[in-house]
């Protein structure tokens, strides 16, 4: 069994609580670098984090411990 800490929740969005999923759905599939920064700030406020590089593709969404 895989724990939620090991799952990229971008690939398993059905496991997200409604308030996190609502923010996730607010953002388009293709983001700019600045949009990624804002998206991350919003997710961190709900206890989640992710990574992204200069290509502005978020990955590794997980709950902050």
CB 51 within 8 Å of CB 24: no
pTM of the model: 0.87
What six digits make up the tokens of 16? 């997200």
Give me the average pLDDT of each 10-residue run along the chain (65 residues): 73 95 94 97 97 97 93
Structure tokens at 42: 């919003």
Which H or E element spans position 50?
A: strand 48-51
């Amino acid at each position: 069994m895989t724990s939620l800490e090991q799952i990229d929740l971008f690939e398993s969005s059905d496991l997200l609580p409604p308030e996190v999923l609502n923010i996730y759905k607010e953002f388009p599939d293709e983001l700019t670098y600045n949009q990624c920064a804002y998206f991350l700030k919003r997710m961190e406020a709900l206890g989640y984090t992710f990574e992204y590089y200069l290509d502005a593709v978020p990955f590794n969404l997980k709950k902050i411990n």
